[in-house]
Amino acid sequence: MRFSGLTAAALLAVLGGCKQEAGDEKTALSRTELTVTTADGTAHRFVVEVAATEAQQQQGLMYRPPLAPDAGMLFAPYPPDGGPPRVANFWMRNTPSPLDILFIRPDRTIATIAENTVPFSEAPVPSGEPVSAVLELGGGRAAELGIAAGDKVSWK
């Protein structure tokens, strides 16, 4: 495959920008253990990155490879300013893999699940009601594990 000088420069600029953001301490993510307990009592455990700041939540999983089956990203608190729960609208801009987006109420039950969201789409993915956290898992994972609206989510 051949790249023109302009294409190569653009590619380097994009990669350089991603590297800079990933190394920026303002966007460094902590990890925590998270459990989703289904209606039948089955507990599914994940190790998730926590997007707690506005910058981290804006970056989300953009430019990232697919998630491992036991991985995810938790947007908590949502909104990042710690304000009251509100309707969330997510999108898949620059996100190359489908995701399941689980919208979580203040009582830590799942309000709705947007399954297998479309990679790179800028169409809004709404929560449908006010939420205080959002969990992203690999596309299809919620159905595979039998995770549904009303299930309980817990994390530290």
Q: Any bridge partners for residue 101, and if so which?
A: 114, 136
Q: What is the pLDDT of residue 2?
A: 34
Contact status, residue 51 vs residue 57, Cβ threshold 8 Å: yes
pLDDT band of 28, cuts 50, 70, 90: confident
pLDDT band of 27, cuts 50, 70, 90: low
Phi and psi torsions of 21, nearest 5°? -65, -40
Q: What is the pLDDT of residue 134?
A: 98
In the chain, the domains with their CATH numbers are 29-155 (2.60.120.1140)
Contact status, residue 60 vs residue 91, Cβ threshold 8 Å: no
What average pLDDT does range 78-87 have in this prediction?
94
Q: What is the pLDDT of residue 14?
A: 34
pLDDT band of 26, cuts 50, 70, 90: low
Q: What percentage of the chain reaches a pLDDT higher than 90?
A: 81
Rg (CA), the chain: 16
Task: Enumerate helices (H) and strands (E) in the chain, giving the number of each.
Answer: 3, 9
CB contact set of 119 (below 8 Å; sequence gap of 6+)? 92, 95, 96, 97, 98
